[in-house]
């Protein structure tokens, strides 16, 4: 998958040969779906045994529901598909470093790894990582920043908020 779009909301997908490109590119595609619906462009996919089992994108505005984050939606779909709240041996790919609420859901779902594109720029406290590796939990989750995807994931968010400011 090597999609390219040259529009106002341009995004260039990472090279095909990157080991995580298939899954991260799908997360970016999900974020673009959110963008088209005027939602904050964040997308997520859950992978088990090398296959995507669920997808999600932000839809808080349309649903007027504070917990309709991409990660929560993807987790809910994966739980239904697997008929279990335990998503052990599953990995999450998401375009933006998860928020504390999503980090709690990820930990509770027992997801083993989180791969994210853009770092959360509004905080430098590593709160998500602290939640996912807390000694209070009996499950630990590894967080991996895929720096190769930082720019395309950040670009989606930057463009969205730039356009939103223009409208106001």
Closest to 13 (Cα-Cα) out of 34, 98, 23, 53: 23
How far apart CA 148 and CA 117 sit, in angstroms, is 8
DSSP characters over 129-167: HHHHT-TTSS---EEEE-GGGHHHHHHHHHHHHHHHHHH
Known catalytic membership, residue 71: yes
Residue of 26, 39, 71, 97 marked catalytic: 71
Q: Collect all residues with Cβ–Cβ distance below 8 Å to 129 and sequence separation of at least 6.
A: 143
Catalytic residue numbers? 71
């Amino acid at each position: 998958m090597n999609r390219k779009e040259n529009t106002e909301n341009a995004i260039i997908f990472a090279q095909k040969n990157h080991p995580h490109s298939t899954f991260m590119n799908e997360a970016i595609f999900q974020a673009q779906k959110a963008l088209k619906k005027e939602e904050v462009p964040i997308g997520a996919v859950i992978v088990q045994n090398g296959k995507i089992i669920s997808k999600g994108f932000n839809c808080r505005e349309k649903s007027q529901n504070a917990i309709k984050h991409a990660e929560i939606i993807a987790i809910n779909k994966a739980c239904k598909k697997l008929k279990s709240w335990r998503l052990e041996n599953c990995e999450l790919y998401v375009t933006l470093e998860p928020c504390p609420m999503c980090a709690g859901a990820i930990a509770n779902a027992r997801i083993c790894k989180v791969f994210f594109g853009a770092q959360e720029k509004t905080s430098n406290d590593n709160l998500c990582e602290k939640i996912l590796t807390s000694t209070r939990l009996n499950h630990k989750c590894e967080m991996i920043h895929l720096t190769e995807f930082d720019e395309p994931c950040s670009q989606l968010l930057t463009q969205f908020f730039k356009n939103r400011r223009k409208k106001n």
